[in-house]
Structure 1
Amino acid sequence: MSPRGGSGVQIKTPEQIAKMRAAGQVVARALDTLRAAVRPGVSTLELDSVAEKVIRDAGAVPSFKGYHGFPGSICASVNEEVVHGIPTAERVLADGDIISVDCGAILDGWHGDSAVTIAVGEARPEDLAMMEVCEESMWLGIAQMRPGKRLGDIGFAIGGHISANGGYGNVREYGGHGIGTEMHMDPHVLNYGKKGRGQKLVEGMCLAIEPMTTLGSHDVVELDDGWTVVTRDGGRAAHFEHTVAITADGPMVLTARESNRDKISQMGLVQPTW
Structure 2
Amino acid sequence: MIEYRTPAEIEQMRPAGQFVASVLTALRKHADVGVNLLELDELAHQMIKDRGATSCYIDYHPSFGASPFGKVLCTSVNDAVLHGLPHDYQLADGDLLSVDFAAEVDGWVADSALSVVIGTPRPQDLKLIETTEVALAAGIEAARAGNKLGDISYAIAQIATKAGYKINTDFGGHGVGRTMHGDPHVPNNGRRGRGLPLKPGLVIAIEPWFLETTDKIYTDQDGWTLRSQDGSRGSHSEHTIAITADGPIILTQRDA
Same fold by TM-score, threshold 0.5 exceeded? yes
Counterpart of 1:17? 10
Deviation at 1:135, TM superposition (A): 0.7
Deviation at 1:20, TM superposition (A): 1.3
Aligned counterpart in structure 1 of residue 93 of structure 2, from 57, 76, 95:
95
How high is the TM-score relative to the length of structure 2? 0.96
The whole-number CA distance in structure 1 between the counterparts of 2:166 and 2:48 is: 33
Counterpart of 1:37? 30
Task: Answer yes or no: is the 8 Å Cα contact 1:81–1:228 preserved in 2.
Answer: yes
Q: Which amino acid aligns with 1:74?
A: L
Deviation at 1:170, TM superposition (A): 2.1
User: CA offsets per residue over residues 76-97 of structure 1, 9 Å max, x none?
Assistant: 0000001001111x21110000
Q: Which amino acid aligns with 1:163?
A: T
Task: Answer yes or no: is the 8 Å Cα contact 1:29–1:54 preserved in 2.
Answer: no
Q: Secondary structure at the match of 1:112?
A: strand
RMSD: 0.9
Counterpart mapping for 1:30-69 below 5 A: 30-68=23-61, 69=68
Q: Secondary structure at the match of 2:75?
A: strand
Counterpart of 1:264? none
Task: Answer yes or no: is the 8 Å Cα contact 1:150–1:195 preserved in 2.
Answer: yes
How high is the TM-score relative to the length of structure 1? 0.90
User: CA offsets per residue over residues 8-45 of structure 1, 9 Å max, x none?
Assistant: 21111111111211101000010000001100111111
The whole-number CA distance in structure 2 between the counterparts of 1:132 and 1:201 is: 27
1:159 equivalent in alignment to 2:152: no
Task: Answer yes or no: is the 8 Å Cα contact 1:77–1:86 preserved in 2.
Answer: yes
Q: Which runs of 5+ in 1 are unaligned?
A: 1-7, 260-274
Q: Percent identity?
A: 45
Deviation at 1:196, TM superposition (A): 0.4
Q: Which runs of 5+ in 2 are unaligned?
A: 62-67
Runs of 4+ with deviation above 3 angstroms: none
Task: Answer yes or no: is the 8 Å Cα contact 1:170–1:211 preserved in 2.
Answer: no
The whole-number CA distance in structure 1 between the counterparts of 2:213 and 2:192 is: 26
Task: Answer yes or no: is the 8 Å Cα contact 1:151–1:198 preserved in 2.
Answer: yes
The 3 A distance-change label for structure 1 pair 169 and 91 is: farther
Q: Which amino acid aligns with 1:162?
A: A
Q: Which amino acid aligns with 2:49?
A: R
- Number of paired residues? 250
